[in-house]
A and B are shown apart, each in its own frame.
Chain A
Amino acid sequence: MTKHGFLLATLVLAGAALPIGPVTAATPEEEQAAFQAYFKQRFPNVPEDEFKNGTYAIDPVTRENWEAIEEFPPYENAISQGETLWNTPFADGQGYADCFPDGPAIMGRYPHWDRERGLVMTLPLALNACRTAHGETPLKYKKGPIADLLAYIAFESRGQITQVEIPEDDPRALAAYEQGKRFYFARRGQLNFACGHCHLATSGARLRTETLSPAYGHTTHWPVYRSDWGEMGTLHRRFAGCNEQVRAKAFEPQGEEYRNLEYFLTYMNNGLELNGPGARK
């Protein structure tokens, strides 16, 4: 698409996103459209289906190195260990397949609003719910076996499209989304940064030598082998790490704060293809 055409599309999108008249509230759909239009306008040369690659969609220098890493992916081991875990029966003889009868390719169904429990159900939470229902101890949420299981599920789910829903007939779902949104834009920690400060207006800029990644694309590729960790980690591990980088106390992985944050952020990424597990610096 030409730059002109792109701008036009952005204007049309932005127009669709904004209510007519002195209305201050916007629906989640309108917020999502404004969010995505912002990134398309900010990075007009990045094809929409490239945003799932994060920094590597916008930084050709680091992309080359990343593509080399992807030739022998550092997450391969995690996928095979995760597959073993998936197929290993619990002590009661049952297994994950009994909780998830449609098989491991289920990443695209999460996170979702769980009407019965009245909370945002994430895949790690569902995996542990399965374990405890079968008398197994829950897994820790940041790394280790949970990351392996997620790597296998993510790999089996590649190609699915992010399509988080916020059911209109349950106001608690909208409330969870709103909480996640406030979390995303709230300054915190001694350094006084909000998530949005680094990953909206300054995305693509460099913090020392690191290119700040756009928020559009942040949720597609988890779990991730992060060179900085030297191992696999989950999305909530990354949330915690970001919070600590701004010198805020991290919240509990899979606690309400991060689950609502995941709900909001994944909803913002609706339409992007799932391509986990991933490799990042």
Chain B
Amino acid sequence: MPLNASHRSRLTALLLGLSALSSGPLPAAGLPDDLALSGDAAAGREVATDRAKGNCVACHVMAGAESPGTIGPVLVSMQTRFPSKRDLAAQIWDATAKNPEAVMPPFGKHEILTRQEFVDVVEYIWSL
């Protein structure tokens, strides 16, 4: 497939995001134990609503986001629904680890987000 503008910007984003990645290969499966969950919620909000990135709003109703999808659960009261921020992070990293039938894309495992974007999104969703 030819490289269109959105791919190009995505590749640029990949390059710019590289400093956030460790140089070694990522573990194939679970959320890395050494991943510090201390992201920036404001930056995470941008990622969560960006079509090419988190795009959480494609499937989830989220406070302040327009035209949300209705596929996943409403993102609200997250701190009462997940015992810890790390549990929430594990869900976003790879939801199929807990439930093999889960539809949600594995944002961490499949590197849909860079590590920085990932921890930022976790921070933002945890704040909802």
Contact = CB atoms under 8 A, between A and B. Distances in A.
Interface in A199-219: 201-202, 205-209, 212
Query: Do most interface residues of chain B lie in helix, strand or loop, or is the interface mixed?
Result: loop
A193 to B, nearest CB: 7
Interface residues of A, number: 16
Contacts of B88: none
A205 B1 contact: no
B103 A201 contact: yes
A193 B71 contact: no
Contact of B105 (A193, A206, A244): A193
B110 A208 contact: no
B84 interface: no
Given A192-B110, A209-B67, 8 more contacts: A190-B110, A192-B96, A197-B103, A205-B69, A208-B57, A208-B58, A208-B68, A244-B1
B44 interface: no
A250 interface: yes
B105 A202 contact: no
Interface of B: 1, 57-59, 67-71, 96, 103, 105-106, 110-112
6 contacts: A191-B105, A193-B103, A193-B105, A205-B71, A208-B68, A209-B67
A42 interface: no
A169 to B, nearest CB: 36
Contacts of A207: 58-59, 69, 71
Contacts of B1: 244, 249-250
Contacts, number: 37
Contact of B71 (A190, A192, A206): A206
Nearest to B55: A208
Contacts of A206: 69-71
Contacts of A202: 71, 103
B69 A208 contact: yes
Contacts of B71: 202, 205-207, 212
A207 B69 CA distance: 5
Contact of A190 (B68, B69, B112): B112
Contacts of B103: 193, 197, 201-202
Contacts of B68: 208
Nearest to B111: A190
Contacts of A197: 103
Nearest to A202: B71
Contact of A192 (B57, B70, B106): B106
Interface in A98-132: none
A189 to B, nearest CB: 9
A260 to B, nearest CB: 22
Contacts of B106: 192
A234 to B, nearest CB: 17
B112 A191 contact: yes
